[in-house]
Amino acid sequence: MSKWYPKKGRVIFHVDMNSFYASVEMAFDPSLKGKPLAIAGNPEERRGIVVTSSYEARKFGVKTTMPLWEARKLCPDLIVMRPNFERYRTASKEMFKILADVTPLVQPVSIDEGYMDVTDCADQGSPPQIAERIQKRIYEELDLPCSIGIAPNKFLAKMASDMKKPMGITILRKRDLSHKLWPLPIEEMYGVGEKTGEKLRKLKIETIEDLAKHPVLDLKKVLGINGERLQNRANGQDERPVDPDAVHDFKSIGTSTTLPQDTTEDTEIQSVLRRLCNKVEARMKNKKVLTKNIQLMIRYHDRKTVTRSRQLSDFISKSDDLFQVALQLFDEHWNQNPVRLLGVTASDLAEKSEVTQQLDLFNYEQYADKEKLYQAIDNLTEKYGSNPFRTISMPSEGKVSTSFQKDFLDDYKKD
C-alpha cells in the first residue's frame, strides 16, 4: 500500500459528475435514458440556450451554451427540458454525502464536482479501490455516472477526471506528464480559456508541453503572474490544499439573465434590473454581508458586452439601493442599442457584523426612516414567507440565470 500513499506526497481525487443535469433527469425518469436530451433555459423562447446535454445528444454535435434552435437543427429528435434546480441541488447534496463518508477533507467547487484528499485513507484500501467504491455507490444509490481523477495535486486530478468520460477512473502521476498531459492542445488545459489560448498561440505555444518549456519571462510579459502559475501547473506543480471551508470564500455576489427579446424599452429594462437586484439582496442577506461596489453588465444584440462599476462611499445591502446604483450605471453607459442580457454584481463585500455605518447629519434622518420600512417588510416577509410588497412595484419574478452559486454547497454537512 506504501506505493499509493507516499510519506511526503498527497493523494487527491477530483470527482466530476457526467452530464449532471441530464443524468439527474434520466434518474428521475428512466424513460429518458438512451435518448438525446438537452436541459435548456427558456426552451419556449428563441433565446433559449443549452445548459447541458446527454451524451446521446452530444454525438450529434449538441454543446453547452449552444442556441436551442441550432441544437434542434443538429438533432431533430432532441428532447428539451427546463432546468429543475431543486432536483439538481438535492442530487448534489446526496453525492457530497457519499464523498464525506470517505473523508472529511471534501471541497465542493460546483454543484457537480469536488476535490477529496484521501492521503490518510490507507486503511480503506488503495486509491483506485476507494475511487471504484465511490463511483459504484453514486451509481447504485443515485443512478448517476461520474468520472474520478487520481493525482498528487488538485490540478492534475482535475485534468485526469476529464480524460475518460463517462464513468472513468484515471490516474495521472507526474511521471506520466510527458505522454498523457503534454501532448494535449493548450486549450484543453484547465485554466486556459479562449482569450488566454489566443495569447499563448501568438507565442507559438500549441500544446501543454510548449507551455511547460517556454521561457517564463515571456509568459509573464503577456499574462502577468498568471503566466508563471500556468507554467507551474503544466509542469505538474500545484500546492493548493483541499479546503472544506473554501466554499465560504467569495469575493462577489451577482446574477444575470438573458431577456426573452432584445429590447430598448425602459420599463422592461427597469423591471429586469429590479429582479436582479432583489436576487442579489436575498443572497447578500443570506450571507450577512454588505457591499461597497456595484457592477452592471450589458450585453447587446450583437453580443458586444460592456461592464461598468461604481465604488460607493457607504456600504449598502437593500434592493432599492442596489437598484438605484444599477439604474444610474445603465443610464450613463447604455448606447441606446437593443439589450440582450443584463447582470448585476455586488463586490467589495464586508460582513455586516463588522461594519459600522458612519451616519452624518445629512443622511441620518433618511437612513433612519428607511430602516423602519425595511424592518416592517422584513417582519412581514418572515411571517408570510415572501415579500408581500414585491408585486406592487414589479412583475412576478421569472427564472434568473441558469447557473448555480456556491451558497448551498455545504448543505450536505447539515443533516
Instruction: Please report, as a single letter, which amino acid is at residue 166.
Output: P
Distance CA 171, CA 129 (A): 12
Distance CA 326, CA 270 (A): 9
Which residue in the block uniquely carries the three cell numbers 488538485? 154
Q: Is 113 a catalytic residue?
A: yes
> Using an 8 Å Cβ cutoff, are 341 and 301 in contact?
no
Distances from the Cα of 214 to the Cα of 39, 207, 209, 210, 239, angstroms: 41, 11, 9, 6, 21
Distance from the Cα of residue 124 to its chain's centroid: 32
Residue 370, number of CB atoms within 10 A of its CB? 13
* 12-17: strand order across its sheet: 106-110, 113-117, 12-17, 146-151, 169-171
Instruction: Please report, as a single letter, which amino acid is at residue 272.
Output: V
Residue ranges for the binding site for Mg(2+)?
Answer: 16, 112
For helices 85-100 and 20-28, give the axis angle rounded to 10 degrees. 100
Instruction: Please report, as a single letter, which amino acid is at residue 229.
Output: R
Residue ranges for the binding site?
Answer: 16, 112
Residues 25, 44, 56, 113: which is the catalytic one?
113
Distance CA 25, CA 21 (A): 6
Residue 381, number of CB atoms within 10 A of its CB? 14
Distance CA 53, CA 229 (A): 32
Distance CA 144, CA 296 (A): 38
H helix count then E strand count, the chain: 14, 12
Active-site positions? 113
